[in-house]
Amino acid sequence: MTDLTLLGIAEAGRLMARGEITSTQLTEAFLKRIEAVDHKIASYITVSADVARAAARQADTEMKGGVRRGPMHGIPIALKDIYETAGIKTTGHSHFKKDYVPAIDAETVRRLKDAGAVILGKLGTHEFANGAMTPDQPFPAVRNPWNTKYQPGGSSSGSGAAIAAQLCMGAMGSDTGGSIRNPAGFCATAGIKPTYGLVSRCGVFPLSFSMDTAGPMAWTTEDCALMLDVLAGYDPNDQGSAKTDKVDYGAAAHRPIKGMRIALARHWYEGEDSVTPEMKKGIDEAVRVLKDLGAIVEDVVFPSLRDYHIAGRVIITTEAHAVHRQDVIDSPEKFGYTTLRRFQLGAFISAEQYLSALRFRRQLTLDTRAAMRGYDLIMAANQWGDPEIFEEPQAVFHFMGKPQLPMPFNITGQPVTTINCGFSSAGLPLAFQLAGRAFDEASAIAVGAAYERATPWRAKRPSL
């Protein structure tokens, strides 16, 4: 039998529906692999083996009796450790929460469980989704499975690393300034940052109220779409939640893309700040593939990348300080050094500066919408090049250097996917982004999935 940990969500679901494999077999395969290789990359904080086995047995019983809850039924997944889970520790990768056991599940976790998903455990993250992985924190730093000398990207570090290393079939991440797309790009997985308001954040540790989004990560765009089918929908307990029409995202992964119009934001990554030559070559080749598939790709000028970056950093830094202010005052020693400094920075931003950033955000959103007129999607580089090598001490304010390529779509709230487009000469992943109009995840999914089917990259896995 094929190594079950190499299966994607869509394929595993079809095999279970036909009775060719069971959820218990899948779950045991992943638990065995976690035990064998996760010590090399430290992607898991908590492995909930007994809970997973019980859920898998229940899924098998239901499917044997003719009950099929949907494409996530019996699928083993894991959660970034900022998602509250009833009876299982939710640590935020922090001394503050290292023994915290919630009484109820986050809304997204509840929806996944209701869909029959099997929760394997909780995954490493940057502290409270904002700091860095430093030695003064209670859990080891997550490593990149393609080369453990390198960073996996953050803050959904464990999610990206675990999927790439075949330690779960999908995972939940969160994205405030690129925290789904950074590890998706650096670990060669797919990831979707949904439209702001599409997926509930209730029960997810907050960082920035006006920019936080919760979303899926998996090996393929189609698998992310199947997770999004379960996750999307209004939640009255999330003040940012939006009421929207139901969309079949899984079906969108098989839509034809001929005639779709894509605006290439080349000037974001080939201007004052430039991607590596290998990244440029990877994206140019991806553009060629999309054109061969019938899409129309044209260069379009959008506002400056630095403008989005500056507005985003001011908003995130201010709101993150507001969330953690009391702990910063009362117990600063419990934070990791880098996390503490980043939270403290928010105390130096004035109300006038914060409000100016919010107004600027609104203008950038309008200007982006105007530049996108006549196009279905925006395409851009996902990262500047290879991930950084693990070094100590790490830069506290890393965002003071090059602007962040994912930030524009956190500012505008648009949905955006990350898609792998090959590997550098060092064997490290390359990736691009596709952003759609608000609540049009389907178009980005369609193009991303078509690209993946037309290229060989999903057949390549890291060796551990």
Domains (range + CATH), the chain: 4-459 (3.90.1300.10)
Main-chain phi, psi angles of 270, to 5 degrees: -130, 20
For 78-91, what is each residue's pLDDT tens digit? 999 999 999 999 99
| DSSP code of residue 393 | S
Which residues are identified as catalytic? 80, 155, 179
Tell me the C-alpha distance between 90 and 351, whole Å. 32
Tell me the C-alpha distance between 324 and 203, whole Å. 16
Residue 396 has pLDDT above 90, yes or no: no
Mean pLDDT of the region 56-72: 97
42 burial class (0-12, 13-18, 19+ CB within 10 angstroms)? buried
Mean pLDDT of the region 421-425: 98
Residue 281 has pLDDT above 60, yes or no: yes
Q: Is 171 helix (H, G, I), strand (E, B) or coil?
A: strand
Query: Which of 64-78, 120-134, 239-253 is the least confident region?
Result: 120-134
**Average pLDDT score over the chain:** 96
pLDDT at 271: 83
Tell me the C-alpha distance between 396 and 389, whole Å. 15
Tell me the C-alpha distance between 228 and 215, whole Å. 7
If you write DSSP's letter for every residue of 309-375 in order, what string do you get? HHHHHHHHHHHHHHHHHHHHHH-GGGS-HHHHHHHHHGGGS-HHHHHHHHHHHHHHHHHHHHHTTT-
Which residues, listed in sequence order, are joined to residue 190 by a DSSP beta bridge? 218
What are the CA-CA distances from residue 100 to residues 84, 85, 124, 321, 331 (Å)?
9, 10, 15, 21, 17
pLDDT band at 363 (very low <50, low <70, confident <90, very high): very high
- In this structure, the dihedral spanned by the alpha carbons of residues 444, 449, 450 and 453, taken in order and rounded to 10 degrees, is 160
Q: Is 439 helix (H, G, I), strand (E, B) or coil?
A: coil
Cis peptide before 155 (omega within 30 of 0): yes
User: Are 11 and 4 in contact, with CB atoms under 8 Å apart?
Assistant: no
| Residue from 338, 277, 272 nearest 307 by CA | 272
Q: Which two tokens stand for residue 170?
A: 């999908």
Tell me the C-alpha distance between 257 and 295, whole Å. 6
pTM of the predicted model, to two decimals? 0.97
Query: Which of 70-84, 122-136, 212-226 is the least confident region?
Result: 122-136
Mean pLDDT of the region 254-266: 98
pLDDT band at 401 (very low <50, low <70, confident <90, very high): confident
Tell me the C-alpha distance between 446 and 146, whole Å. 27
* Cβ-based neighbours of 177, under 8 Å, separated by 6 or more: 211, 312, 313, 316, 399, 404, 406, 407, 410
Residue 1 has pLDDT above 60, yes or no: no
Mean pLDDT of the region 141-165: 97
What are the CA-CA distances from residue 421 to residues 79, 147, 269, 288 (Å)?
25, 18, 16, 12
Using only the alpha carbons of the chain, give its radius of gyration.
20
Q: Is 263 helix (H, G, I), strand (E, B) or coil?
A: strand
pLDDT at 397: 65
pLDDT at 82: 98
Query: Which of 203-217, 257-271, 356-370, 385-399 is the least confident region?
Result: 385-399
